[in-house]
Structure 1
Amino acid sequence: GGIYIGFFTPTEGAGVGTVGTFLIAVTRGKMRLKGMIEAILGTAKTTGMIFLILLGASVFNAFLGFSELPILAADFFKQSGLSPLTVLLMMLVMYILLGFIMDSLSMILLTVPIFWPIIAGLEFGLSPDDLKLWFGVITLIVVEVGLITPPVGLNVFVINSLARDVPMIETFKGVIPFFISDGIRVAFIVGFPVLTLWLPHIIRLD
């Protein structure tokens, strides 16, 4: 609840949750030395994986800078005659497909350096700051939608692994309502950017 009321950021919320979970486990006598070591090792493995992804993304971004690929891609789409909305929809479909094989962090780090210059070079009728915010929100939502998209959404397999007695087809059936609702939400945000921008505008006025 602290995140929603603005008491702390998501990162701080993760820290608070970790400390709270640890204290509850200790006070209930559930935390033993072996369990603590396993938790620390698991955290180290996850952290190492994230830093390897960040390292790879940094190398990839350096390559993009030297090759000027984002600039060339932006020029190509400007001269292609495609409408800005069509280009955006192509990117969103790409995110859905990438959700079959990649996690959200990898998708964002590898695609945004290419996609953003293209979007920034097209005319959506928004100011540069509003365009950044609008595209960022859409990207984050669609990336997560890609991770639950049948038939290969990675998060669906993660969920199913937690309930091994449930057939995979049943897990996908359970995800479909969320997939449909997310699709409707994305359609509204793409069609009506004000849904994303009204609150930041109010905050700026304050």
Structure 2
Amino acid sequence: MLLWINGPFGAGKTQTAHEIRWRLPGSVICDPEHVGFGLHRMMPPSLRGDFQDLPAWRQGVVDVLDRVLTDHDGVVLAPMTVVEPVYFRETVGRLRERGHDVRHFTLLAERATVLRRLRERGFGHVVQFVAGKDAPLRRESFAVSKLDLCLERLREEEFAQHVWTDRLTVAQVADRIAAASGLTLAPNTDGVLRGRVRRAWTGVRHIRFD
């Protein structure tokens, strides 16, 4: 089974995927972004745009996930924002056509909630402490520029199943996805502090500097 976790940038896809992996033995994360990062690194900066526009990205994601789903016994998690209907059909749709059990979920939240999460992820707390709470989201400028489009497109029925996350913790979002997929997660035994540290570490590990 593949759990494709969609949503706007900053919605909590990566945190949710890691929460499920941590609580579901045998599950693995296969992040489609890494295919895009590899393609970008093969190109001079002047030619880099949105890697999803490259047919090689869509085909590469399908081929890699097809291989993992065929040869790995556990659940596969793919946290990835896809808002273009054609690209969605060329990734999620093609995997389903190949006979794989693909469960798709879109994490949604109000615009203000997503903006707050963008400020907080990675080094956001440090930036706010140094520059003030209204410091511009320079590192997240791409995410912010795409936010309204993401929120509009992803509300469409094609991108269901929708999970509104404004008032849910990461653990609760993971529980809802698991229940909808017929999966049983191990209990989350984190205390408040331990949970914050683990999520912060996950966020830091996924900061990109190129």
- Output the TM-score relative to the length of structure 2: 0.26
More strand per residue: 1 or 2? 2
Higher relative contact order (CA 8 A, sep 6+): 2
TM-score by length of 1: 0.27
Say which one has the larger Rg: 1
